[in-house]
Amino acid sequence: MSLILSEVEGRGGLEVAAQKRGALSRGPRSFDFAQDEGLTGQIQSYALIRPHLVCFLLAMGVRTQITGLFKALHRDARHWQILALFGLFCISLSTSDFSARPLALLAAIVGAMSAQVAGTIWVNARKERRRATSGSYWRGSSLEAGFVGWMSGFQWKSALITSLSLSILLRANSLWFWLAAGFIAITAKFLIRYRGKHIFNPACIGIVTVSLIGGSAAWVSPGQWGQAPIFAAFAIGFAALVLSSAKRLDIALGFLIGFAAMLFGRALYLGDPMAIPIHQMQSGALLVFAFFMITDPRSTPDSRLARILFAFAVAALAAWLSWEHHIRGAMLYALAGLALLTPVLDRVLPARRFEWLSKKETPDEPETPRGGLRPRPRIVRA
């Protein structure tokens, strides 16, 4: 009996030893896998969260880039104005029978940029002459400093806006008219000034001058886009961005309200159907003029009350020229004719002058002052 028990115990010991050897052969973590279920669950959760985390980080990066781009565009109202006018040019190019031509835009850019370069050099030369005669500045000797000085303050944005406006509103039989209009527009901005503020809207005076000289060879077609809803929505949407940044919504609304009141009042007085003034208010040229031309902060009064009075005066003269003399582009002639009211209203109703960029947001400029001029070194004598 004792022999049988010892044999059984020997077999049991062998089975236990065999089980231990099998466990060891399967690896040291196989027999405690149940203890690692918590760690495995964490790994699986991280594997599920990681794609969402990557997407979130990418979205935040894209959002940061978009926010930075919007701030950069919103820093200067001319950025939105360039985008808006370029969009209007593309719409006119694709939807109009008398569409704007790319070569016309190129000719206007060449004329405007040429005048801008010449005017910038002329302004910097005058500043250098005044500083040189005062004896407080001397010119840097390097060619790079001289070039930067001569081209300091080059306002390419204003020249591009003028070119886009000319290509949208002006129609002519030859490309030379767009070239001449661009050159005349920017030249007038430099030459016809009062207390550092140009009198005429550049695009307006360019179109009016070319139309008067060219006669029937150059004209403005007020209804060239028809009444396309997409054009109106595009113009108003971008105009809201431009005017909110430039703070000139009052003069645009003043002109539109005044002009609409005269059109509807005349229709009621003559007994005409309301479809006539509604059709006249849907003109593409009217939207461009109201939102992108009469709202130019550098050629309109500084005070809000003065701007509203100026807008009503332009609307009244435009309506009279259109009804009595049947002039195409009467709004442009009215704006050019009443431009001399701006310095008068600024004198009667003074206000803070508008600047495209505030002092905190001035563009990057070289360390040397304008004109490539550096302060004359002081000589200390013993």
Q: Are residues 289 and 176 in the same domain?
A: yes
Tokens 């600047």 correspond to what residue?
355
In the chain, the percentage of residues whose pLDDT exceeds 70 is 60
110 — pLDDT class (breaks 50, 70, 90): very high
pLDDT tens figures, 161-173: 999 999 988 989 9
Q: Are residues 57 and 151 in the same domain?
A: no
Domain count, the chain: 2
Q: Are residues 47 and 142 in the same domain?
A: no
23 — pLDDT class (breaks 50, 70, 90): very low
Domain containing 59 equals 36-71
State the Cα–Cα distance between residues 240 and 281, nearest whole angstrom: 18
* Contacts for 196 with CB less than 8 Å, ≥ 6 apart: none
* Contacts for 111 with CB less than 8 Å, ≥ 6 apart: 163, 178, 179, 180, 181, 182, 183, 184, 186
**136 has a pLDDT exceeding 80:** no
Q: Which of 93-97, 109-113, 303-307 is least confident?
A: 93-97
| Three-state secondary-structure class, residue 120 | helix
pLDDT tens figures, 227-247: 555 566 566 666 665 666 667
Q: Which of 226, 211, 209 is nearest to 285 (CA)?
A: 226
Average pLDDT, the chain: 75
Q: Are residues 98 and 164 in the same domain?
A: yes
* 317 strand-pairing partners: none
State the Cα–Cα distance between residues 198 and 370, nearest whole angstrom: 21
In the chain, the percentage of residues whose pLDDT exceeds 90 is 33
Q: Are residues 178 and 284 in the same domain?
A: yes
Q: Are residues 215 and 343 in the same domain?
A: yes
- For residue 337, tell me if it sits in a domain: yes
- For residue 315, tell me if it sits in a domain: yes
Q: Are residues 83 and 67 in the same domain?
A: no
- For residue 31, tell me if it sits in a domain: no
- For residue 135, tell me if it sits in a domain: yes
Q: Are residues 162 and 49 in the same domain?
A: no
Q: Are residues 51 and 186 in the same domain?
A: no
**12 has a pLDDT exceeding 80:** no
State the Cα–Cα distance between residues 317 and 151, nearest whole angstrom: 40
- For residue 307, tell me if it sits in a domain: yes
Pairing of β 137-139 and β 170-172? unpaired
8 Å CB contact between 162 and 185: yes
Q: Are residues 52 and 164 in the same domain?
A: no
| Three-state secondary-structure class, residue 301 | coil
Average pLDDT over residues 79-105: 78
* Contacts for 301 with CB less than 8 Å, ≥ 6 apart: 307, 309, 310, 341, 342, 345, 346, 349, 351
